[in-house]
Amino acid sequence: MLTATVVLAGAVAAAGSSLHMPPTNSCGVTGAGVSSPDAVALSVQLRGPRIQLTHEAGPKVNLSTVRMMILINGTPLQFQPPIPYFAARGFRSGPFGPFNSASDGMWEPGETASLEIAQTNTPHPVVGATLSVEFRQRACVIGSVSADVQPS
């Protein structure tokens, strides 16, 4: 079970993308300056509707204890991914890595997970839009990362 505070940090690999860290919230997340040994650092790369997240450092994350929320320009997608999954409404089937239901559901340092938003989901990410990914545990946002959508 994830008992650690998760902080999504790191560099955004896509050229022209930016990373925005959240201010301190009710869960104790403080952004890039957090030095907790329980923090998890992630990086994100975006190409069109494909989201690739890499677990850079920190403890394993049990994906069954967190909820992932994706927003485009601050608007939540109509359908959110139930990680891990294989087929989910609003997403292309067969996500990669620990987001796939065939995985053990644990996200370890060095592992990359990815998924792709289907055309049937709205709003759809367009080049230049800001895509944000939030991870929640219970009612708390325990980490978030944002980047600008790049061409496919």
Asked if residue 45 belongs to a domain, the reply is yes
CATH of the domain at 85: 2.60.40
pLDDT of residue 31: 47
pLDDT of residue 1: 38
- DSSP structural state of residue 98: G
Q: What is the pLDDT along the chain (152 residues), one digit of tens a residue?
A: 333 333 333 333 333 343 433 333 445 544 443 333 345 677 889 988 999 998 877 778 889 988 999 999 999 999 999 999 999 999 999 999 999 999 999 998 899 999 999 999 999 999 999 999 887 767 766 667 889 998 87
Asked if residue 20 belongs to a domain, the reply is no
pLDDT of residue 26: 44
Of 72, 68, 51, 67, give the one whose Cα is nearest residue 132. Answer: 72
Asked if residue 23 belongs to a domain, the reply is no
Q: Count of CB atoms within 10 A of residue 135's CB?
A: 24
pLDDT of residue 72: 96
Give the strand pairing for 130-137 and 61-62: unpaired
The C-alpha angle with vertex 32 and arms to 128 and 56, in degrees rounded to 5, equals 80
**Is there a contact between 27 and 103 (Cβ–Cβ < 8 Å)?**
no
Of 48, 49, 30, 50, give the one whose Cα is nearest residue 39. Answer: 30
Asked if residue 31 belongs to a domain, the reply is no
Asked if residue 53 belongs to a domain, the reply is yes
Asked if residue 46 belongs to a domain, the reply is yes
- DSSP structural state of residue 16: T
Domain that holds residue 87: 41-148
User: Tokens in use for 40?
Assistant: 């998890």
- How many domains does the structure of the chain reveal? 1
Asked if residue 6 belongs to a domain, the reply is no
Asked if residue 2 belongs to a domain, the reply is no
Give the span between the Cα atoms of 109 and 88, in whole angstroms.
25
